[in-house]
Chains A and B, each alone.
Chain A
Amino acid sequence: MNAHTDDVRLVGVRKRFGSVVAVDDVSLGIARGTIFSLLGPSGCGKTTTLRLIAGFEQPDAGDIFIRGVRVTPMPPYRRDFSMVFQSYALFPHLTVAENVAFGLRMRRVARGERARSVGEALALVKLEALADRHPRQLSGGQQQRVALARAIVVKPAVLLLDEPLGALDKQLREEMQVELRSLQQRLGITAVFVTHDQEEALTLSDCVAVMRNGVIEQIGAPRDIYDRPRNAFVASFLGASNFIDGIVVGRDAASIIVETPAARVRVPGDRSAGERVQIAVRPERLRMEGSDAQGLPARIRDIVYRGPVTHFHLDSAAGPLLSYRQNARASDFRIGDEVRCEWDSDSAVVLDGPGE
């Protein structure tokens, strides 16, 4: 968090609805020109946080800054932002061009310049031909792009997006993800979006905040939080994970030695001897080797073909395990085979907190 270059800053923000604390002492900073996503299950507070930045909700405590300006007491129409809503919220009684021009009208931009900006924005989202249509004549994907054009044409300090791709089918969603990212990078707009889809968050963002019950569990670049989840919740929310319990029996400079029910393993980390720990390993990092290799002994219980990869469900003394194997070539594993599970030393992570 850097007060000087952050476009959006939340400091100790708290919001409660009745007896439910939706946002609990949240602080974060969003650097200029980046895409930041709030990720989490329903009810985790991500939408409330977005609405607090917008000003549609007022915090009970804490402050919100947009480009250094303390906007906490300001109503939404005075804050420098724009928003793409989940339902797009295109004004049904206005044409596409009038919708896009709305924000410029509010800012008293002259008619000629307005028309030019609207044209540019529509060209950016490739919808110039539909400028005189009404929203109900457009498909969902087209409506979404109009909503986007309307939000970016005003060149806001921050662009907020509330589950913008939720209503689109899978293929369209993936296309839009790519388009969104390229658009944002081209314009250099700071964007904050809310999603419950972890793949989307990982694809689109420069920085992700994983939330649960109003609290940010972990914040960081997609690769960092994926490879180094801090706790079991983050580990299992972002993709699948293997969890292995054990006790620390030794340590050295950079790693610890953990005694698990299945085998003794070495993991990077810093814990004291005798501590109970939980280790997480991603299934795609868990390799199955023949039974003469080193590593955790396990037996293949089930094999599920999944197109580009095959899922192997394993049983071991350390509990059930999951391994993904790319189907680059035919595999010769069978159900019932005894294997040894290995992983690169930096592929495993020690999680915070007791086992979940």
Chain B
Amino acid sequence: MPTAGSVLRAAATLVAFALIVVPILIVVLAAFSPSDYFQFPPPGLSMRWFIEFFRLDNMRSAFALSVELALASATIATILGTLAALYLARRGGMLANILQSLFVAPLVFPTIILGVALLLLYKTIGMPVFSGLLLAHCVVGMPYGFRTVLASAQGLDPSLEEAGQSLGAGPLRTLVLVTLPLIWPGVLSGWLFAFIVSFGELNTALFLTGPGVTTLPIEIFSYLQFQGSQLVIAAASSIQIALIVILVAVVERIVGIARITRAR
């Protein structure tokens, strides 16, 4: 029996979901527009803007840089986050709590301030642009791997590692042969989050990109600011969206299958 309250809630949900999703759908739709400007409803579908995207040097190189940056920073961030999580997994006490808050801090710290601070530091010490950007994204991405691996590691039966040791496996072999095989879904999903975040990241890239070294989101932003609403931007945006969808689907398959083979 639907009550007034539940009808209102359902309506609110519908409106909210529409407001959230519609802008993204509009962008994807605009990317397939055959004409020079966006028409709604669209008269047809065309791939011309995608072709234009790959024709433009700056777009192509921004895309390539974003992918490189995301791959590198996600990998480094996840390795570091995993190390930190393994260290803290079975630790309690005040120091451990402080460390844990520190490793999660970049998630809540305003990244715009981090961007400014890093630019200042880089200018002072003369850091090359790509490395600086890479390190910034490692800082921003590390908490994701840290959190997912921490959850995985803490969910493990502590006797498993002790069992490894009782059978003669030292700390390193226990880590490689017992712990890692059991937490790798956490590592992979942490990597995925770090990749996605880096790929779409704006606030530090805003300050840390430079001439010739720019990421796709920043390139899109510059276009929008200075050249108006060109539809090649819609194509660029759609490519970004598509990449994310593919990545999430792939990892979901792998991690999903892993869950079936792991009884956890």
Contact = CB atoms under 8 A, between A and B. Distances in A.
* Chains A and B in contact, CB within 8 Å: yes
Interface of A: 54-56, 75-77, 81-83, 85-93, 102-103, 106-107, 134-136, 150-151, 154, 160
Nearest to A88: B159
Given A91-B160, A93-B262, A82 B173 contact: no
Interface stretch (B81-89, B98-106, B121-129, B163-171): B163-171
Contact of B162 (A56, A150, A154): A56
Contacts of B171: 77
Contact of B163 (A75, A89, A136): A89
Given A87-B157, A91-B178, A92-B182, 16 more contacts: A54-B166, A76-B165, A81-B166, A82-B166, A83-B163, A85-B162, A88-B159, A89-B163, A92-B263, A93-B181, A93-B182, A102-B167, A106-B168, A106-B169, A136-B263, A154-B168
Contacts of B261: 134
Nearest to B156: A92
Nearest to B258: A93
B165 A77 contact: yes
A81 B167 CA distance: 8
B264 interface: yes
Given A54-B166, A102-B164, A89 B157 contact: yes
A136 B261 CA distance: 10
B159 A89 contact: yes
A244 to B, nearest CB: 45
Given A92-B262, A92-B264, A93-B182, A106 B159 contact: no
B263 A76 contact: no
Contacts of B165: 55-56, 75-77
Contact of A134 (B162, B166, B169, B263): B263
Nearest to A101: B167
Contacts of B157: 87, 89
A154 B263 CA distance: 27
Nearest to B178: A91
Given A92-B263, A106-B173, A134-B263, A85 B168 contact: no
Contacts, number: 68
Given A134-B263, A136-B263, A89 B162 contact: yes
A77 B169 contact: yes
B182 A103 contact: no
Given A89-B157, A89-B160, A103 B167 contact: yes
Contacts of A91: 160, 163-164, 178
A76 B159 contact: no
Interface string B187-210: 000000000000000000000000
Nearest to B167: A103
Contact of A106 (B160, B167, B181, B263): B167
Contacts of B173: 106
Q: When A and B form their complex, which 6 residue pairs have the shortest distance between CB atoms, in order from nearest?
A: A136-B263, A106-B168, A103-B167, A89-B159, A89-B163, A83-B166
Residue of B162, B174, B177 with most chain A CB atoms under a 10 A cut-off: B162
Nearest to B184: A93
B167 A82 contact: yes
A190 to B, nearest CB: 15
A106 B165 CA distance: 10
A89 B169 CA distance: 14
11 contacts: A75-B165, A77-B165, A77-B166, A77-B169, A77-B171, A83-B163, A89-B159, A102-B177, A103-B168, A106-B168, A154-B167
